[in-house]
């Protein structure tokens, strides 16, 4: 799709004028314990729907922005910023355009000043015609009237992406993808529950079972590892830090569980195709109403999250306009938003020269070690610290014992991590022929929490699942290879056909499986719910599986 002509996009929503005053602060005011910011330089930027439109147009896409604008100074300044970059269709505005002014000292925000309460008050024939002709539409609804003014037209032709805000109205039915931040999803789900009269404790968990069974064993699927403008501090923007190490605190599992529940509520209440809840540095939780898919954010240097939600929504809308599937669009948007944050966010955005109008650091093999330095024994690069525990019937000689370490037993590791307030993540599979898909899955799973326990099928279990001739590699070899990965903290072996018994003993906060975008059967999901855990899918790399490797080897050819 990269070489094809990009489809045009129409953005409907509420534009803002963002103003940054950047200076230095070397002293406190004599009359109050507040910094004195001096030598300020001013920079104006498009904000809200205007930022989303500019980001969508950066790669040469033809973008039309429909938004409320007036005759005030802020509206004129925004017009000048947008001139030649996007086609602008102005809706009449009641009141001055909203402005958000950030005062920064040495790059750090000190205070934000908001003014302007203008609202778009009516649709225009030009706006209606643009929507009727639009191949794809992105709605950036900040609750200031633009989406409401065109709601009838948006209902007749549902948008590709709706970026909501608690002050705005609900998306129209039939939207392909809705992109709330975590706090917004919680507020909007609570409103949906109140509107429908559903008991908050029974609003669903997003863990039903699809009619089609596309279950993929994590060990044989492979995983492709690899997130809002003025997001509040406790609800970080996509790709931004969540206030600590990855997965720090048992809240990581609870956050995924609650996000999955809220997303499922919103999919059903809004009759949307999918809901993608942005989770800061953890990435995005994508729900079609049932089993959630977690798309982790790539490893990146930390930057300014301002505008990341707009980058995520704009990228997803553009990819959908170009023909991508929802899951593909979300994965691409996660990567783009993370890169946007790492580059400094909206504050560092340098728009290319406007044409005249015609009408980070890459991830290592081991991935980041979440929580390293906080939970002793977790995330060690050496295989000697990895533990093996077998459940079920004996399967032959036990693996050679590892050198004594504080966590020779995965259950001891789990207990220590949990006592420190950390998040325990587990995944499982045969891992017969370790390949890039496996490594991607394990790296991504490790980034979710503070330790990763890999549950491995015994030889007998693999043989029952895969048939004669499997496994190719015996248990000792499979365990040894897994133990050599720095993203694996412990290995536990089970002899049964499924890992439910082992999971009931481990009680992980998060259970990870490789899966596709349409959702897969997760028989472990109900079990995880018994102790408040959450089962999630991670996207996998197509064509990476032990079975396909063996098939190619038998043919004697490459992929």
Alpha-carbon distance 64 to 83, whole Å?
12
Q: Look up residue 446 and give its two tokens.
A: 């490790």
Chain centre distance of CA 141: 20
* Cβ–Cβ < 8 Å for 477, 439: no
Q: Of residues 163, 310, 408, 521, which has the active-site annotation? A: 310
Alpha-carbon distance 117 to 74, whole Å?
12
Torsion of CA 24, 26, 28, 30, to 10 degrees: -100
Q: Burial level of 316, CB count in 10 A (0-12/13-18/19+)?
A: buried
Mapped onto helix, strand or coil, the DSSP state of residue 58 is coil
* Cβ–Cβ < 8 Å for 18, 112: no
Closest by alpha carbon to 371, among 243, 241, 248?
Answer: 248
Beta strand pairing call for 284-287 and 275-278: antiparallel
Is 125 noted as a catalytic residue in this protein?
no
Beta strand pairing call for 119-120 and 137-140: unpaired
Closest by alpha carbon to 77, among 122, 15, 21, 142?
Answer: 15
Alpha-carbon distance 524 to 373, whole Å?
31
* Cβ–Cβ < 8 Å for 78, 15: yes
Based on its alpha-carbon atoms, the radius of gyration of the chain, rounded to whole angstroms, reads: 25
| DSSP designation for 381 | S
Alpha-carbon distance 292 to 280, whole Å?
17
User: How many angstroms separate the most distant Cα atoms in the chain?
Assistant: 81
Q: Which positions are annotated as active-site residues?
A: 310
């Amino acid at each position: 799709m990269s070489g094809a002509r990009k489809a045009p996009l129409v953005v409907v929503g509420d534009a803002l004028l963002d103003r940054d005053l950047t200076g230095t602060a070397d002293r406190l005011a004599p009359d109050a314990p507040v910094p004195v910011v001096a030598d300020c330089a001013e920079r104006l930027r498009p904000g809200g729907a205007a930022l989303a439109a500019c980001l969508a147009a950066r790669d040469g896409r033809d973008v039309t922005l429909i938004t409320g604008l007036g005759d005030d100074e802020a509206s004129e300044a925004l017009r000048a910023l947008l001139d030649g970059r996007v086609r602008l269709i102005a809706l009449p505005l009641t009141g001055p355009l909203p402005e958000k002014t950030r005062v920064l000292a040495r790059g750090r925000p000190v205070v934000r000043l908001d003014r302007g309460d203008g609202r778009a008050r009516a649709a225009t024939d030009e706006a209606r015609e643009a929507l009727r002709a639009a191949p794809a539409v992105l709605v950036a609804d900040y609750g200031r009237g633009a989406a409401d003014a065109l709601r009838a037209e948006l209902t007749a032709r549902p948008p590709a992406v709706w970026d909501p805000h608690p002050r705005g109205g609900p998306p129209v039915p039939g939207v392909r993808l809705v992109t709330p931040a975590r706090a917004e999803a919680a507020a909007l789900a609570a409103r949906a529950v109140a509107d429908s009269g559903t008991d908050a404790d029974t609003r669903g968990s997003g863990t039903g079972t699809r009619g089609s069974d596309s279950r993929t064993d994590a060990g044989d699927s492979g995983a492709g590892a690899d997130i809002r403008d003025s997001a509040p501090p406790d609800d970080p923007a996509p790709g931004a830090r969540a206030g600590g190490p990855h997965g720090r605190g048992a809240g990581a599992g609870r956050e995924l569980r609650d996000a999955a529940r809220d997303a499922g509520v919103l999919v059903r209440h809004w009759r949307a195709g999918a809901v993608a809840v942005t989770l800061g540095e953890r990435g995005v939780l994508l729900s079609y109403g049932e089993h959630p898919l977690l798309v982790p954010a790539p490893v990146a240097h930390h930057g300014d999250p301002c505008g990341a939600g707009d980058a995520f929504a704009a990228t997803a809308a553009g990819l959908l306009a170009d023909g991508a599937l929802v899951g593909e669009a979300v994965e691409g948007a996660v990567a783009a938003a993370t890169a946007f944050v790492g580059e400094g966010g909206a504050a560092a955005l340098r728009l290319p020269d406007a044409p005249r109008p015609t009408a980070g650091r890459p991830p290592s093999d081991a991935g980041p070690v979440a929580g390293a330095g906080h939970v002793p024994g977790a995330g060690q690069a050496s295989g000697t610290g990895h533990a093996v525990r077998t459940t079920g019937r004996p399967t032959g000689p036990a693996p050679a014992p590892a050198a004594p370490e504080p966590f020779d037993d995965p259950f001891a590791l789990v207990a220590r991590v949990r006592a420190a307030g950390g998040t325990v993540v587990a995944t499982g599979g045969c891992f017969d022929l370790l390949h890039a898909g496996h490594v991607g899955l394990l790296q991504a799973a490790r980034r979710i929490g503070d330790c990763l326990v890999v549950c491995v099928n015994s030889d007998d279990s693999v043989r029952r699942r895969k048939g004669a001739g499997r496994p190719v590699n015996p248990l000792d070899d499979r365990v040894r290879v897994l133990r050599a990965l720095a993203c694996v903290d412990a290995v536990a072996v089970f002899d049964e056909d499924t890992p439910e018994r082992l999971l009931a003993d481990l009680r992980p906060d998060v259970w990870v499986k490789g899966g596709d975008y349409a959702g897969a059967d997760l028989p472990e999901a109900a079990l995880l719910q018994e102790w408040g855990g959450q089962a999630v899918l991670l996207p996998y790399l197509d064509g990476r599986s032990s079975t396909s490797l063996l098939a190619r080897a038998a043919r004697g050819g490459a992929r």
